[in-house]
Structure 1
Amino acid sequence: MRIALLADLHANREATEACLAALERERCTHHVFLGDLIGYGADPGWVVDTVRAQVERGAVAVLGNHDQAAIEAPSERMVPEARAAIAWTQGRLDEAQTAFLRALPLQVEEDDRLYVHANAWAPADWSYVSGRAAATRSLEATAQRLTFCGHEHRPALYYAQPGPAGHFEPVSGQPVPLRGSRRWLAIPGACGQPRDGDPAAACAVYDSDDGSLTFLRVPYDHERAAAKIVAAGLPGAFAQRLLTGG
């Protein structure tokens, strides 16, 4: 089975459409959405409806911190611009879309895989896996062999070993064999708001038959997505991030 992995769509229709098309070309038959469907971008309703339709066809989706903020209240840990985007988003989601977000689980286990937005040790605290120490803590918190998460907005691949987790620097389009003798944590990167200096959308494909993981970067019309953010009256910094990838 070829599994499509998407994280941090952040209401970016153009990036989501481009990634879904790329993953279809990769012959993916199962989709996993690793949280933060909304926030920052100008098309929250479209993205939620698109993911909901995928879930109705058997996809998996988990709750992200921006999704939670939209159905409850923004955390004080969120910067003011992010809270403003959540308030704007709340006024553009209908009852069915809000109900879908409210029903999302914090994490899902599927075979030997864990899907979670932030980390495995405290999914609801929204702490980042931003380096080897945090990756080690997350790997130690689950018995699953593979952990797939988002939240960090930068692609990364870690593996368990004595001491701090080992780290691979992902290269787009190059399959990495996830050897069965190791336990792994992978962050596919942000579909809707990359922050690693590359404006191309990020996603990944896991092949459960041969055990390989392929990170992808997908060019899309980020200028159009940025212009829609400005036109909506959302903070301009969110548009600038799409233009620069950071």
Structure 2
Amino acid sequence: MKVALVTDLHANRDAVEAVMAHAASQGAQRYVFLGDFVGYGAEPGWVVDFVSDHVRHGAVAVMGNHDSAVVQGPTQTMVPQAREVVAWTRAQLDDDQLDFLARLPMSVTEGNRLYVHANAFAPTQWAYVVSRLEAIRSLLATECLFTFCGHVHEPRLFHLPDSGEAGELSPAPGSPVPLSAGHRWLIIPGATGQPRDGNPAACYAIFETEGPAVTFHRVAYDHEAAAAKIRAAGLPERLADRLVDGE
């Protein structure tokens, strides 16, 4: 089975539509949405409805920190810009959309796969996996062989062998990476709605259960149009700029 892994959609309809079309062209059979459906972008209502419709049809979705902030209030660590967008986003959503976000699970386990937004060792604290140290903590916090998370906004791939040191791979877009037996794997697809690695193309990945293997993808989309929507909504200019420069 080919499972499309989509995370950090961030209310960016243009990016989501491009990624979903690409995933369909790659033969994706199932979809997993790893959180942060709102925040930063101009179309939170559309994205929430889109994800909730897919969940009704069998997709998996977990809660992200921005989703949590919209329904529960921002955390103390959120920067002022993010807090501003949280308040704006909440005003854009109706009761059904807010209820959907509120009912999202923190994580979902399916067989040997764990789906979570930030990490496996403290999901509700929203710590980032930015180095091998956090990757090891996350991998050791679950018995699952494969952990899939977002939050970082950049594609990352870590592995922990049964014996030996943890490693990090730099996957090339479009090239399948075999996921060797005897390792635990932590896969971060990168952000669909707001990449931050200098490349504005949307990120996602496809996990193949047979093999197994993972392929990271970059999908060009009209990020200028998405940025224009942010400006038209009166949201901070920097959020529009981030879509254009990918930073």
The question of a shared fold, defined as TM-score above 0.5 by the shorter chain, is answered with yes
Q: Is the 8 A contact 1:120 1:138 kept in 2?
A: yes
Match of 1:16 in 2: 16
1:90 aligned to 2:76?
no
Shift of 1:229: 0.4
Deviations 1:14-48 (A, max 9, x none): 00000000000011111000000000000000000
Q: Bigger shift: 160-169 or 33-42?
A: 160-169
Match of 1:196 in 2: 197
Shift of 1:179: 1.1
Give the distance between the partners of 2:92 and 2:206, measured in 1 at CA: 31
1:64 aligned to 2:64?
yes
Equivalent AA in structure 2 for residue 142 of structure 1:
T
Deviations 1:172-217 (A, max 9, x none): 0000000122110010000000000000000000010120100000
TM-score (norm 2): 0.98
Equivalent AA in structure 2 for residue 79 of structure 1:
V
SS at the partner of 2:53? helix
1:211 aligned to 2:203?
no
- In 2 relative to 1, CA 59–231 (structure 1 residues): closer, same or farther, beyond 3 Å? same
Equivalent AA in structure 2 for residue 127 of structure 1:
A
TM-score (norm 1): 0.99
Give the distance between the partners of 1:180 and 1:96, measured in 2 at CA: 43
Q: Is the 8 A contact 1:7 1:34 kept in 2?
A: yes
Equivalent AA in structure 2 for residue 198 of structure 1:
N
Match of 2:28 in 1: 28
Aligned length, in residue pairs = 246
Q: Is the 8 A contact 1:201 1:219 kept in 2?
A: yes
Give the distance between the partners of 1:74 and 1:163, measured in 2 at CA: 40
1:178 aligned to 2:170?
no
Q: Is the 8 A contact 1:172 1:215 kept in 2?
A: yes
